[in-house]
Structure 1
Amino acid sequence: MRVFSDQDLIAALTPATAVEAMREAFSLLKKGEAEIPPRAVLTVNGNWWGVMPCKTKYAFTVKVVAVIPENRARGLPAVNGSVLVMSPETAEPLALVPGSTLTAIRTAATSVLSTELAVGRRVETLGVIGGGMEAEFHVRTALGYLSVGRVLISARKSHVELAKKVGGEAVDLEYLLRNSDVIFSTTSSTTPVVKGALLKDGFHVVSIGAHTPEARELDDDVVRRAKTFVADSLDAVSRESGDFIEPKAKGLLQGKEVTELGEVLERGSIVRPSIFKSVGVAVQDNLASYYALKYSD
């Protein structure tokens, strides 16, 4: 059994490889070729934990992941866990993969894939809200796969350090919202950080936070202005994300295209202004793990 380190995983899943893995993951999901039982969600010591199984023709995977904000003070990732990869034919253990790094890579690659579908491979100004691990992987994946003119970064803290690290510009949130063509919101905030009234025309906003029914990263104005609301899984966001649950209850999604990433992949584009809402689907971990094994040394 292969035991991956974080660096092993980063080396195997380059931005191009990771985006291709996510393209295949959502294609399999659309075709019904991924078996995904409902995830088990638990609250442990006040923190969110999930157990996510998935079977494809390539692998059977089980991911155990937790979101523990207090980990940052411990010098650990806020999103932590592991993925066990097994043969779907023999149940032979094939790999143990670090869940925090895998989650960061596959989430960022999916955000970048949605961006390619919405605006193409060229982004004049990319705004990233957040200063943690997900924010860093989103910037690195975008720079490694897309052609990006400027990167603006804003967060409550750590954004100055992250901007220096990745070659971005540390700015205040209002400046980022007013000047970005594409926005990746990667926060743990439970109240909206993306204000629709401030956004440029033709925006594409990706939200990967707000993974509970009461939490929001996007305010109602973002939803009102959007023509398209894309989810990784409509079933998942309808149960787990306040960014979908509350606007739907208010009738704000009426008259808009509400669809899934797999559907968009079939036609090849997203109509802007657009939102991509991601809470994570087990097939992402399955394909990312398989591609890591496939492309590892």
Structure 2
Amino acid sequence: MLILGPDAVDASLTYKGLIETLREAFKAGAVQPVRHHHHVERPDGAANTLLLMPAWTDLQAAGRSAGGHIGIKIVTVAPDNGKLSKPAVMGNYLLLDAATGEPQAMIDGQKLTVWRTACASALAADYLARPDAAVHLICGAGALSPHLAKAHRAVRPLRRVLLWNRTAAHAAAVAEALQADGIDAQAVDDLDAAQAQADVISCATLSSVPLVKGALLKPGTHVDLVGAFTPTMRESDDEAIRRARVYVDTRAGATKEAGDIVLALQSGALTEGDIRGDLFDLTRGKAAGRNLDSEITLFKSVGAALEDLAAGIAVYRAQQG
């Protein structure tokens, strides 16, 4: 069994390559049981979350008897880790041979997650963002933020990145790192003013209060929500949902786990029929993406085990040569 750390993941993937891998994965489909979602109570801090996300190649649908894979991601989310200067999200990905059950690889789950999450968002943006989108606002300065900037630049001609974070120094550090990679990036203090400038807004936070305000969105904006992974968390307000054409990564996941969708359904700002499509629909041509330059579009992602499986297989195959 291969043990593949974060450097091996980085060496195995490219943004354009993984975006296309995910496009083909959503077209083909996979078996995705409902993820296990457990709260781990702690006496001296915020509760942690344990996520178990299994998926396997749908060999029967593909007409094959061998050659597939089983994967499971084991993830913990510890909100208090920031106080310890550690990432909130940690995990590993176990890849198995589907025919024999033999372990093939243990892959760094944190690195795999940021790659697949950013590239899934960029895949959605390829259908939903304006072709001439130039300004990208990223809310949140965690490990995912530079990947969101680079993945979206693989599908749109984004010339400028604005970064906002509750801790301004973290936004400044990410902006500096992006600048070192040749990207025009700057930290901003005024989130409302930045929203009014942005063509694409990505939110990757653990917020329980709306950060993206519908009243501030200019026509043609694409909103990309990838944080807020429980029914009580949200990064957008009801007005943003009302004004937008709404899409999700998977209907089953988003309508049960994504607070931006669940809370909007509860308030009446959204109905299930208002959800225009998911990534299965978009990649298979069953749902139309952006129709007009003036439309506001919104994509909500809570993560799909299919994405981890596709990315894990891509890393494993790259390391196999």
CA distance in 2, matches of 1:235, 1:294: 30
1:199-278 superposed matches below 5 A: 199-226=217-244, 228-254=245-271, 256-267=274-285, 269-271=288-290, 272-278=295-301
CA distance in 1, matches of 2:151, 2:95: 24
- The one of 108, 124, 127 equivalent to 1:98 is 108
The amino acid of 2:145's aligned partner reads A
Identity of aligned residues (%): 32
C-alpha distance after superposition, 1:191-228 (max 9, x if no partner): 100001111101110111111111111101101111x2
Shift of 1:140: 2.5
Counterpart of 2:182 in structure 1 is: none
Residues 24, 287 of structure 1: 8 Å contact kept: no
Residues 125, 152 of structure 2: 8 Å contact kept: no
The amino acid of 1:51's aligned partner reads L
Counterpart of 1:288 in structure 2 is: 311
CA distance in 2, matches of 1:270, 1:229: 10
1:1-297 superposed matches below 5 A: 1-29=1-29, 34-44=30-40, 45=42, 46-56=47-57, 57=59, 58-119=68-129, 122-157=132-167, 158-167=170-179, 168-171=185-188, 172-226=190-244, 228-254=245-271, 256-267=274-285, 269-271=288-290, 272-296=295-319, 297=321
TM-score, normalised with respect to structure 2: 0.86
Structure 1 gap ranges (5+): none
Question: How many residue pairs were aligned?
Answer: 292
* TM-align CA RMSD: 1.7
The amino acid of 2:23's aligned partner reads R
C-alpha distance after superposition, 1:6-62 (max 9, x if no partner): 011011111112211211222223xxxx11111111111311111111011431001
The amino acid of 1:234's aligned partner reads R
Shift of 1:257: 4.3
Structure 2 gap ranges (5+): 60-67, 180-184
TM-score, normalised with respect to structure 1: 0.93
Residues 17, 291 of structure 1: 8 Å contact kept: no
